[in-house]
Amino acid sequence: MARHANHGANQALGSPWGDETAVVDALLDWARNRVVRSSDPKTTARPASELRNAAGKTVTPSGIGAREAMRVVEEVLLPATRAMDDPMNLAYIAAAPSRTSMAFDCVVSAANVFGGMWETGAGAIHAENEALAWLVELLGWPGTAGGTFVSGGTTGNLSALATARETARRRLGGRPEGGWRLACTSEAHSSIKSAVRLLDADVVEVPTVRGRLTGPALREVLRAERDAGRTVFAVVATAGTTNGGVIDELDGVADACREFGAWMHVDGAYGGAGLAAPSVRDRYRGIERADSFIVDPHKWLFSTYDCCALIYREPHHARAAHAQHAGYLDEIDREQWNPADLAVQLTRRARGLPFWFGLATHGTDRYTEAVETTLATARRVADHIRAADHLRLLQEPDLSVLLFERPGWTEEQYSAWSRRNSAEGVILCVPTKFEGRSVLRLAFVNPLTRADKVIPILDTLA
């Protein structure tokens, strides 16, 4: 350790930044305190004009100094960000990073590994691959499957679907008559539609059956497409839809994909975590036959932002789609596991490491328990809603998302109730749409969320 400290001090002599030792100490102390402190649920966004006034001009020719910059961070900037890891943040899909993963994220930043290529990041990539191997095992895929970590589900879905399209292009010898077509339901995440646009493809929408993509409905659409002389290159199934937490009928989808030669991608950004939970594992039957899969450890696998695990059954397809080639990259050993070859990215931080460190530290059994705890909390709250005279549960939850309504309330009443509770830091529960009307939604991803804290708040809807 002493050797490293001396090295740092010597470096400071010629550094354009001067002696940074005091700043480094102060920031690392601050990070330490932040990691162990609980979040403040009242933190919230403010208009840009207010922030400009409160923060003052921060980027100036001579700098405002670390002390003043940190004051601005602590007093102005961070209070204007939402506490995503608060146990009562049950809106959208929140986050629940373990302290271990938060602290290790600081270590990852300090190590500043270039994680794009094996030659620069081998050790880090090896550890990331260990974490991916656990997911591969949960999927029931062969040990030759693999992938990398990207920033989030959006990039993961795009990378997987670009691979699917390139694989089809090679098989067909070019762009098919009628263009690139991808099948999914209206419940697929917005990032799928974004990927489709970027890939110059079109969506073929499959009608849902009780919010689900099913084998028979998919088969009918694929047959009609084939009869019309068109090619559907990929099907996107969702394991845990964002709005309702619904798992598509993966077994039937896998059958249909096999019959029609379509790539099967499973978007498990939120719900993929349930693979670790024996109480719901059955619902994923069929996932063992998919071609690609994503899950965001920053959602329900207790890691920090931003982190998406992207996995291919046959990674060589991804290399064909994503590997970048240029004179300055010719020296790269393509036989090695280069994450840059597998997704839309070249430079990357080793963003899977906080996830890996949490797994390595606590063991996978603790992850199973933490996911099961969240599911049990969601079930307890669901039981309460089902039994309450003033509330109606709108669908039986597959996972940990609850959709419910307070019959008689209007959109405005839901919004006012939601905003008041948010402002007071009581709970973050925002309305969504279900079958065209406004309803309420709770999404559980945090094992620290307690049903006995949530239930009394729901009684204020009476």
Footprint on this chain of ligand PLP (rule: CB under 6 A): 93, 152-154, 189, 191, 238, 242, 267, 269-270, 296, 308
Cβ at position 192, least distance to ligand PLP in Å: 7
Cβ at position 78, least distance to ligand PLP in Å: 21
**Side-chain half-sphere of 367: how many Cα atoms within 13 Å?**
27
Cβ at position 304, least distance to ligand PLP in Å: 13
Residue closer to ligand PLP (CB basis): 235 or 332: 235
Residue closer to ligand PLP (CB basis): 332 or 342: 342
Residue closer to ligand PLP (CB basis): 131 or 332: 131
What is the rounded CA–CA span in Å between residue 391 and residue 384? 9
Residue closer to ligand PLP (CB basis): 152 or 339: 152
Residue closer to ligand PLP (CB basis): 221 or 401: 401
Residue closer to ligand PLP (CB basis): 157 or 231: 157
Cβ at position 190, least distance to ligand PLP in Å: 8
Cβ at position 85, least distance to ligand PLP in Å: 15
Residue closer to ligand PLP (CB basis): 231 or 374: 374
Task: Read off the tokens for 424.
Answer: 């007071």
CA-closest candidate to residue 238, choices 212, 276, 203, 262:
212
Q: Which residues of 294-314 are buried (b: 16+ CB within 10 A; e: fewer)?
A: bbbbbbbbbbbbbbbbbbbbb
Cβ at position 270, least distance to ligand PLP in Å: 4
Q: What separation, in Å, do the N-terminal and C-terminal C-alpha atoms of the chain show?
A: 61
Cβ at position 241, least distance to ligand PLP in Å: 6
Residue closer to ligand PLP (CB basis): 95 or 117: 95
Cβ at position 221, least distance to ligand PLP in Å: 21
C-alpha triplet 244, 84, 367: angle, nearest 5°: 70
Residue closer to ligand PLP (CB basis): 189 or 317: 189
Residue closer to ligand PLP (CB basis): 159 or 231: 159
Q: Reduced to 3 states, what is the DSSP secondary structure of residue 41?
A: coil
Burial of 366 (0-12, 13-18, 19+ CB in 10 A): middle
Q: Reduced to 3 states, what is the DSSP secondary structure of residue 280?
A: coil
Cβ at position 86, least distance to ligand PLP in Å: 18
Cβ at position 441, least distance to ligand PLP in Å: 13
Residue closer to ligand PLP (CB basis): 268 or 409: 268
Cβ at position 236, least distance to ligand PLP in Å: 9
